[in-house]
Structure 1
Amino acid sequence: MKICILGGTGFIGHYLTNYFSQQFHQVKALGRQAFAPDFDLTSTLNGQDLVIMLAGANVGERWSKQHKQALWDSRLNTNARLAQALSQCKQPPARIFSASAIGIYPQNSCTNLIDETCTEIGEGVLGQLGKAWEEASLKLLPKPLILRFGVVLGKNGGALAKMLPPFKMGLGGPVAGGQQCFSWIHLEDLARIMSFAIEHPELEGPINVTAPNPVSNAVFGASLAKALHRPFWLPLPEWQLKLMFGEGAQVLTHSSAIVPQRLLDAGFEFTYPQIDDALKACV
């Protein structure tokens, strides 16, 4: 297949480029330049079999005023530019996969699992950002498959790269009490889900791209410390998070117990359904 990955130079995009190339697909991976006014995005998209739209500024940063604006612009403006380019294609892509995030859901506990049947939107910034992001994606033609990512775990990048330094120094501990639920996905399973979706064109609408077993922050942290053979003891209170990340601290305190029911019902089998195995493979 001919696959174009937009937002393809980051942690996930780089992995997918290698993954699909090894399967002998023809892959184009483009970063921010794809959305520049002078870039011919229409010609790039023309004749592609699949477009994977990953563009979006990282929510796991300190939320300055400028970064908060970038969170919205990098999702809404890029989708508007993509919609315009698609409308001018003589041979538009056959399918589109659009990234979203599980932050769109209301907060919930690890004992109250949520799947794709939930239509309620979270009241906070993450929920409203997710809602606007998906509304912008749904203006694309052909209508995209919406992939709601959990926290993506893999080697050499992503969220785990930021977590590892204190844990390697033996300074790991529960964050903001540790009771908030943590929904995650191993990067290898994320790529395999993409392949599964290619092979199952009947899949449409939103799909949760998470492992089937969410855990509390405390359980996740203890598992990471165990994988590194380090202690797990030093709590990180919420007030310290706010000093470090400002309003962006809510990314770490947000509680999401999300399960990939539609994937499970379709017969997808996870390589890493349990957090201990996933983290051992990452560190």
Structure 2
Amino acid sequence: MNYFISGGTGLIGRSFIEQHHEKHPDDQFTVLTRNKESAKNILPPYVTIIEDLAEVSFCDFDVILNLAGEPIVAKRWSDNQKQKLCNSRWTLTDQIVNKISKERSEDNPIRFISGSAVGIYGRQGNAVVTEQFTRYFPEFSHKLCQHWEDIAMNAKYANVALLRTGIVLSHRGGALDKMLLPFKLGLGGHIASGAQYMPWIHIEDMVAGIEFLIEHPVLTGPFNFTAPNPVTNKTFSKTLAKTLNRPCLFPVPEFVIRTLMGEMADLVIYGQNAVPQALLDAGFSFKYNELNEALDEVVNQH
């Protein structure tokens, strides 16, 4: 099969390419990037790297995997940074959707898997959140993801699936990297009340779930890419500390997080008790159902 991937240098895209290539060495990958030289240093040599959509025809691909976007926690959310976060997702997705409409047909649709996040639900307390949940809280993360999804779902001549991703656990970057140091130093603790839920997923299940959607193109619409057993921030913190054989004694008050992160603090102070009902109903089996198993595997590779 032939894959077109935007955001291929990120954690999920790179992991997908490498893990999928191990099982399917004859499959081909083309990655769209803003910096070709940088991408060459990150991606394996068997990947074709381009800088412009005009360099390819979507008639040549079986799957489009759209993962591009400015990292959500890279900088404080100034008005300019918010616009950058939106544009990096919305503009490229719109360009891909338009290109699909021009180059594919009703008789020859393409599999289109596009990124999103559980942030689309906004803050939801302890309510169980499946893909059928529609009582969104209208904060920035919701607006960002909702429009991103709306653009993707407008694709003509495509079977569209949406990845509502939680916190991806990996030994090679992502959210866990930012958490590890204070816990390794014995300075870890829960954030704010610690009651907020943290929907998480191991990177292997993230990749396997994407492959599952590729193998079953009849599955369309949104999918929560989270493990079946989300935990609260307090439980996550205690489990991480135990995995590292360190104490969990130093909670971080909400006002400190607000001071450091501004509005972006909403991402860690609030959460979603999101579960992957659509994937489970479709027959997908998770390798890592429990947080302690996932953290044991990830931390042991650091």
TM-score, with normalisation over the residues of structure 2? Answer: 0.87
Q: Are positions 1:8 and 2:8 aligned together? A: yes
> What does residue 248 of structure 2 align with?
232
Whether 1:75 aligns to 2:89 is yes
Decide which of 238, 242, 258 is 2:258's aligned counterpart: 242
**Alpha-carbon separation, structure 1, partners of 2:258 and 2:54:** 39
- Residue in structure 1 matched with residue 39 of structure 2 by the alignment: none
Is 1:156 the counterpart of 2:172? The answer is yes
Equivalent residue in structure 1 for 2:34, among 28, 32, 35: 32
2:202 corresponding residue in structure 1: 186
Is residue 22 of structure 2 the alignment partner of residue 22 of structure 1? Answer: yes
Superposed counterparts of 1:1-283, under 5 Å: 1-24=1-24, 25-32=27-34, 39-41=52-54, 43-61=56-74, 62-89=76-103, 94-110=110-126, 112-141=127-156, 142-283=158-299
Question: What is the deviation of 1:44?
Answer: 4.9
For structure 1, which segment, 272-281 or 15-24, has the greater mean C-alpha deviation from structure 2 after superposition?
15-24
Q: Supply the distance in 2 between the matched residues of 1:174 and 1:202 (Cα, whole angstroms).
A: 41
1:52, 1:256 → 2: CA distance? Answer: 25
- Normalised by the length of structure 1, the TM-score is 0.93
Number of aligned positions between the proteins: 279
Q: Could you tell me how far 1:199 is from its partner in structure 2? A: 1.8
- Which digits, 9 at most, give the CA deviation of each residue in 1:79-126, with x for residues without a partner? 12212332332687621101111111142233x211111123222111
Structure 1: 5+ residue stretches without partners: none
Q: Is the 8 A contact 1:208 1:262 kept in 2?
A: yes
User: Secondary structure of the residue that 2:273 maps to in structure 1?
Assistant: coil
Letter in 2 for 1:11: L
**CA positional deviation for 1:181:** 0.7
Closer, same or farther: CA 93–16 of 1 in aligned 2, 3 Å: farther
- Structure-2 change in CA distance of 1:9 and 1:166 (3 Å): same
The answer as to whether partners of 2:124 and 2:137 remain within 8 angstroms in 1 is no
CA distance in 1, matches of 2:223, 2:28: 25
Deviations 1:7-31 (A, max 9, x none): 1111111111101211222122232
Higher mean C-alpha displacement, 136-145 vs 84-93: 84-93
How much does 1:156 deviate?
1.5
* 3 and 199 in structure 1: CA distance in 2 versus 1, 3 angstrom threshold: same
Report the CA distance between 1:70 and its aligned residue: 1.1
1:276 counterpart SS class = helix
After TM superposition, give the deviation of residue 188 of structure 1 in Å.
Answer: 0.3
Q: How far apart, in 1, do the equivalents of 2:69 and 2:186 lie? A: 33
Change in Cα spacing, 1:90 to 1:147, as seen in structure 2 (3 Å) is: closer
Give the drift of 1:234. Answer: 0.6
**In structure 2, distance between residues paired with 1:51 and 1:151:** 23
Letter in 2 for 1:8: G
Give me the CA root mean square deviation: 1.8
What is the DSSP-based 3-state SS (H/G/I as helix, E as strand, rest coil) of the residue aligned with 2:124? coil
Among all aligned residue pairs of Structure 1 and Structure 2, give the percentage whose two residues are the same amino acid. Answer: 38
The aligned residue for residue 47 of structure 2 is none
The answer to whether the 8 A contact 1:42-1:89 is kept is no
